[in-house]
């Protein structure tokens, strides 16, 4: 009975340790339009508990807020997938449609509706938190006449709780 209780306790602790996370990121954005101003960028994300977990893959919902030094803002909500491989390494991808507001008129992306996609490579630390390097792309997916887009590279810290 002691072994069963200990096993159940460890299982519940492991689930709680990796159930949610807040991700802090900093990097640089490169706007596709040559007249735009490229900017330093910061991001804040929330990743909810996974609604699907397999051996190495998990899927969850989350939200992201991105602000650059020109006060361009994107806020989105969407789907996040993570695939773990090679012990502590993982690949993360997400798609988050949302609202974009340019702080600098030169950084107009063609409309307020923008979809942020992300592809990242990360490593889980001994304490359960992670670091990752990610590339993002924001675009209106040609739902507007103008669709210049913006790409960003972010160094990120995932705080698990």
Tell me the pLDDT band of 14, cut-offs 50, 70 and 90: very low
For residue 57, give the 3-state DSSP assignment.
Answer: strand
Which of 109-127 are b and which e, b meaning 16 or more Cβ less than 10 Å from the residue's Cβ?
Answer: bbeeebbbbbebebebeee
Average pLDDT over residues 43-61: 97
Interatomic CA distance for residues 23 and 131, integer angstroms:
9
pLDDT at 6: 45
**Mean pLDDT of all residues belonging to the chain:** 91
pTM of the model: 0.86
């Amino acid at each position: 009975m002691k072994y069963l209780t200990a096993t159940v306790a460890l299982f519940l602790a492991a689930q709680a340790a990796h159930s949610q996370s807040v991700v802090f990121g900093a990097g640089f954005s490169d706007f596709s339009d040559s007249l735009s101003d490229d900017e330093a960028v910061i991001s804040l994300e929330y990743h909810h508990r996974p609604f699907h977990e397999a051996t190495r893959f998990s899927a969850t919902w989350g939200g992201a807020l991105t602000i650059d030094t020109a006060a361009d803002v994107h806020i989105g909500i969407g789907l996040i997938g993570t695939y773990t491989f090679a012990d502590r390494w993982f690949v993360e991808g997400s798609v988050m449609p949302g609202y974009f507001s340019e702080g600098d008129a030169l950084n107009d992306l063609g409309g307020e509706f923008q979809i942020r996609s992300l592809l990242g490579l990360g490593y889980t630390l001994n304490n359960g938190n992670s670091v990752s390097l990610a590339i993002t792309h924001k675009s209106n997916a040609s739902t507007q006449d103008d669709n210049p887009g913006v790409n960003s590279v972010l160094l990120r810290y995932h705080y698990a709780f």
